[in-house]
Structure 1
Amino acid sequence: MNWYNVGKIVNTHGIRGEVRVISSTDFPEERYAVGNKLSLFRDGKSPLVLTVASHRQHKNFDLLTFEGYLTIEMVQEFRDGILKVSENQLSDLEGDEYYFHEILGCTVFGLDGQEIGVVTDILQTGANDVWTVTPTKGKAHYIPYIEDVVKEIDVDEKKIVIDVLDGLLS
């Protein structure tokens, strides 16, 4: 079974079992919904299934509590753990929506067929996502995921075609 990262627990928050999570999911409102199950992966330990009891945002973090974990002492060992969901927990997306794991690793080409590089990271800016595209030589390019630029995405072939607008790759 494949597992997909949704966040990393970086610290505790307060004394009532709340943890700080740096989110890596494109759907935090869905993943961290009350009652949702997340699996916690820690070094050398088998995954622990946790049920979300509460979720709120604070600064750049998602703050979560889990059912049955009511104190700071109970969640301290969760620090540096990775929260994941299994492939059966993924929901179907609309036609022009993709999961991060589907985009990461795709090779990006210009309309002329010239290879530009591979998507190595996705930055969430608020307005639109920006893909870090790393060529085999040289500096990374930052490609906005907008209709004017991204023309074709084939996740099965791991191929993306973009319109290289003036100044985009400089």
Structure 2
Amino acid sequence: MKKRFLDSGKIVGTHGIKGELRIDPWCDSPEFLCCFKKLYLDEQGRESIKVKSRPHKNIVLCKVDGIDTIEQADKMRGKTIYIDREEIVLDEGVNFVQDLLGLEVKDADNATVYGKITDVLRTGANDVYEITDDNGKKYLAPVIDEVITETNVDDGYVLIRPMKGIFDDED
């Protein structure tokens, strides 16, 4: 089941003396996190904060309504922030990493199960899925059209056509 509130960053410090926060974004970019006017401080969405944010290098600078001093802002340090899935429209074929974790990875041609996605690594050129089998052995599969043939988050699987060398020790 997809989580409604997604962990999307961590408050790592303050900025200036007027209560701005520095957030380490766990999103694709600081700009993505800056699109939100409301963030949440818990996984259930019970505690929300209204924010105005702007990207600054690889972090987000965030002004929270009601926090006007560095002392107030410093009390927020270390908190994880969440976004509401329902406030986001993703492009076709784009998924949240949290939705990919745990998906079963199967061969597109013969239904062999290779394992489950346990991490998504960002390499710059393309993402790479870390796939862990039932014995705990890890494999890496590039997220490219030649390898990933179908991703079905709702039904819990990814179909692949593995490149030579991913699951075997051939040269």
The CA distance in 1 between the partners of 2:59 and 2:85, in whole Å, is 24
Q: CA deviation at 1:52?
A: 2.5
Cα pair 2:31 2:55 within 8 Å, conserved? no
Partner of residue 106, structure 2: 109
The CA distance in 1 between the partners of 2:91 and 2:125, in whole Å, is 19
Structure with the higher fraction of residues in strand conformation:
1
Cα pair 2:25 2:33 within 8 Å, conserved? no
Name structure 2 gaps, 5 residues minimum: none
The CA distance in 2 between the partners of 1:126 and 1:57, in whole Å, is 20
Q: Which runs of 4+ in 1 moved over 6 A?
A: none
Partner of residue 53, structure 1: 52
Matched, 1:38 2:39: yes
RMSD value over aligned CA atoms? 2.5
Partner of residue 139, structure 1: 137
Matched, 1:87 2:61: no
The aligned runs of 1:1-170 (5 Å cut-off) are 2-26=4-28, 28-33=30-35, 36-41=37-42, 47-58=46-57, 60-91=58-89, 93-111=90-108, 112-169=110-167
The CA distance in 2 between the partners of 1:81 and 1:130, in whole Å, is 28
**TM-score (normalised: structure 2):** 0.80
Q: CA deviation at 1:121?
A: 1.8
Give the SS at the match of 2:8: strand
Deviations 1:25-59 (A, max 9, x none): 246423323x61111239xxx9432223232233x
The CA distance in 1 between the partners of 2:102 and 2:59, in whole Å, is 26
Cα pair 1:37 1:51 within 8 Å, conserved? yes
Give the SS at the match of 1:147: coil
Q: CA deviation at 1:22?
A: 2.6
- Number of matched pairs: 164
The CA distance in 1 between the partners of 2:87 and 2:124, in whole Å, is 25
